[in-house]
C-alpha cells in the first residue's frame, strides 16, 4: 500500500463492511442466523481493516489484524480493551457458524452479534471521520 492509496483502501473497506452488516440484517430477517453471525463478524473485520489501512498498516490475516489492533489502538489507549474482546468473540462465533454444524445460533444470538459489529463499526467511522477520511454514506 502506498500513501496515495491508503485512504482509498480504507474507504473501500468501509464500504465492504457496510455491505456485510446490511447482509447480516437481511439474513436475520430470513431466519439464517448462523450466516448472519458470520456476516456480522465480517462487517466488523472490514471496519477493522479500514482503521488499520488508515495508518498504512496491512494485516496479512485475521489474527494479524487483531494483533495490530492491540498494538496500535488498544495498548496505547486509543480504543477500549472491550473492543479486543468484542472482535475476538465475533471471530470465534464466526468460526463456529461457518465450520461447526452442531452449533445453533438463535435470532437473539445473531442480533447481538450484529449490534456488537455495528457498535464497533460506528466507533471506527467516527475515528476515521475525525482523521479526515470520509466514509461512504452510512452513519
pTM: 0.94
What average pLDDT does the segment 83-96 reach? 97
Q: Which residues of 11-45 are buried (b: 16+ CB within 10 A; e: fewer)?
A: bbbbbbbbbbbebbbebbeeebbbbbbbbbbbbbb
Q: Are 52 and 22 in contact (CB under 8 A)?
A: no
1 has pLDDT over 90: no
- Of the pLDDT bands very low, low, confident and very high (cuts 50, 70, 90), residue 27 is very high
Sketch out the chain's domains with CATH numbers: 3-130 (1.20.120.330)
pLDDT tens digits for range 101-123 = 999 999 999 999 999 999 999 99
pLDDT value for 98: 97
- Of the pLDDT bands very low, low, confident and very high (cuts 50, 70, 90), residue 139 is very low
What average pLDDT does the segment 25-41 reach? 98
- Of the pLDDT bands very low, low, confident and very high (cuts 50, 70, 90), residue 2 is confident
Amino acid at each position: 500500500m502506498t500513501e496515495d492509496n491508503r485512504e482509498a483502501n480504507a474507504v473501500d473497506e468501509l464500504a465492504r463492511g457496510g455491505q456485510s452488516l446490511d447482509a447480516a440484517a437481511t439474513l436475520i430477517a430470513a431466519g439464517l442466523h448462523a450466516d448472519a453471525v458470520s456476516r456480522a463478524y465480517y462487517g466488523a473485520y472490514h471496519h477493522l481493516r479500514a482503521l488499520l489501512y488508515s495508518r498504512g498498516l496491512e494485516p496479512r490475516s485475521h489474527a494479524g489484524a487483531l494483533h495490530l489492533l492491540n498494538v496500535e489502538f488498544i495498548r496505547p489507549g486509543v480504543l477500549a480493551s472491550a473492543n479486543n474482546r468484542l472482535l475476538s468473540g465475533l471471530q470465534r462465533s464466526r468460526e463456529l457458524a461457518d465450520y461447526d454444524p452442531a452449533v445453533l445460533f438463535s435470532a437473539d444470538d445473531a442480533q447481538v452479534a450484529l449490534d456488537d459489529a455495528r457498535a464497533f463499526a460506528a466507533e471506527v467511522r467516527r475515528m476515521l471521520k475525525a482523521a479526515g477520511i470520509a466514509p461512504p454514506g452510512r452513519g
